[in-house]
């Protein structure tokens, strides 16, 4: 019966060593995760600051340029209308061509 007891003791010692190894590995991973979380916070803060600076510069440059003139706005609108009208004409022509062939 002492043979069975030795095997049991050996198994318990092996299991204890495995548990200690897993605990150590888990603790190391927790430390690594915490370092990664800190790095993410630093990078997020840095990105937010850069975005805020970029937005401030953009707003400042727009303020310096002033509001767009009426001529520029009307040119932009007429260009957009022309593009839309051109697409409509092209689509209508294509539609007619397809129906004439069929």
Inter-residue long-range contacts of 19-24, CB under 8 Å, 24+ positions, other chains counted: none
How many domains are there within the chain?
Answer: 2
Mean of pLDDT values over 65-83: 56
DSSP helix/strand/coil, 93: helix
CA distance 11 to 18: 10
> Domain check: are 9 and 41 in the same one?
yes
Percent of the residues in the chain that have a pLDDT greater than 70, as a whole number: 59
Asked whether residue 3 falls in the same domain as residue 36, the answer is: yes
Together in a domain, 35 and 47: yes
My answer on whether 38 and 83 are in the same domain is: no
Judgement on whether residues 3 and 15 belong to the same structural domain of the protein: yes
This model's pTM is above 0.85: no
- 68: region left, alpha or beta (phi > 0 left; psi from -120 to 50 alpha): beta
Same domain, 57 and 10: yes
Q: How many whole angstroms separate alpha carbon 13 and alpha carbon 16?
A: 5
| Structural domain boundaries, residue 101 | 68-102
Is it the case that residue 85 has pLDDT exceeding 50? no
Q: What's the CA gap between 7 and 13, in Å, rounded?
A: 10
83 and 42, same structural domain? no
Given a cut of 60, whether residue 87 has pLDDT beyond it is no
pLDDT at 45 over 70: yes
| Residue 60 to residues 56, 73, 78, Cα–Cα distance (Å) | 6, 21, 28
* pLDDT average, residue stretch 44-54: 90
């Amino acid at each position: 019966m002492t043979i069975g007891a030795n095997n049991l003791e050996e198994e318990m010692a092996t299991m204890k060593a495995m548990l200690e190894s897993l605990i150590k590995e888990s603790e190391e991973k927790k430390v690594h995760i915490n370092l990664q979380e800190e790095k993410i916070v630093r990078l997020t803060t840095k990105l937010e600051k850069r975005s805020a600076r970029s937005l401030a510069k953009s707003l400042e440059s727009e303020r310096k340029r002033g509001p767009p003139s009426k001529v520029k706005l009307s040119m932009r609108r007429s260009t957009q209308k022309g593009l839309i009208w051109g697409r409509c004409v092209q689509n209508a022509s294509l539609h007619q061509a397809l129906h004439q062939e069929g």
